[in-house]
């Protein structure tokens, strides 16, 4: 089981490509700037294609989001959608086990 990831140490330095942001806004109705505050709270990180490529399960205003990210010099967000039922279950189960 994954352990919750603490707040990102550089959550104020979240970058994104504005074209990705606009595409995400049109496709899912979610702008990256609206979910970035979720990185400042404990969240769950699931490795995808290596430690630099991952999905973060974050909660903002009671909604859990799946944020596809990667690290370069900063945290880079490139896709965000409302979390699936399975992802929400993972998020809440992981955080509850850390108490």
Distance from C-alpha of 31 to C-alpha of 52, rounded to nearest angstrom: 22
Say if residues 74 and 14 touch (Cβ distance below 8 Å): yes
Residue located via tokens 């990705």 = 20
Distance from C-alpha of 12 to C-alpha of 9, rounded to nearest angstrom: 8
Question: Residue 18's pLDDT is what?
Answer: 92
Bridge partners (DSSP) of residue 43 are 5
Q: Model pTM?
A: 0.67
Question: Residue 26's pLDDT is what?
Answer: 92
| Superfamily of structural domain 4-97 | Ribonuclease toxin, BrnT, of type II toxin-antitoxin system (3.10.450.530)
Question: Residue 76's pLDDT is what?
Answer: 80
Residue located via tokens 């806004």 = 25
Say if residues 8 and 54 touch (Cβ distance below 8 Å): no
Question: Residue 15's pLDDT is what?
Answer: 85
36-74 pLDDT per residue, tens = 888 888 888 888 887 788 888 999 888 999 998 888 767
Question: Residue 99's pLDDT is what?
Answer: 58
* pLDDT class of 10 with cuts at 50, 70, 90: very low
SS3 category, 81: strand
Distance from C-alpha of 68 to C-alpha of 28, rounded to nearest angstrom: 13
> Does pLDDT of 88 surpass 90?
yes
């Amino acid at each position: 089981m994954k352990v919750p990831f603490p707040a990102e140490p550089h959550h104020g330095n979240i970058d994104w490509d504005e074209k990705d942001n606009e595409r995400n806004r049109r496709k899912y109705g979610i702008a990256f700037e609206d979910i970035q505050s979720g990185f400042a709270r404990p969240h769950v990180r699931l490795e995808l294609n290596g430690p630099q490529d991952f999905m973060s399960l974050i909660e903002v205003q009671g909604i859990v989001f799946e944020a596809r990210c990667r690290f370069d010099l900063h945290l880079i967000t490139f896709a965000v959608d409302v979390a699936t039922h399975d992802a929400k279950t993972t998020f809440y189960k992981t955080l509850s086990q850390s108490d």
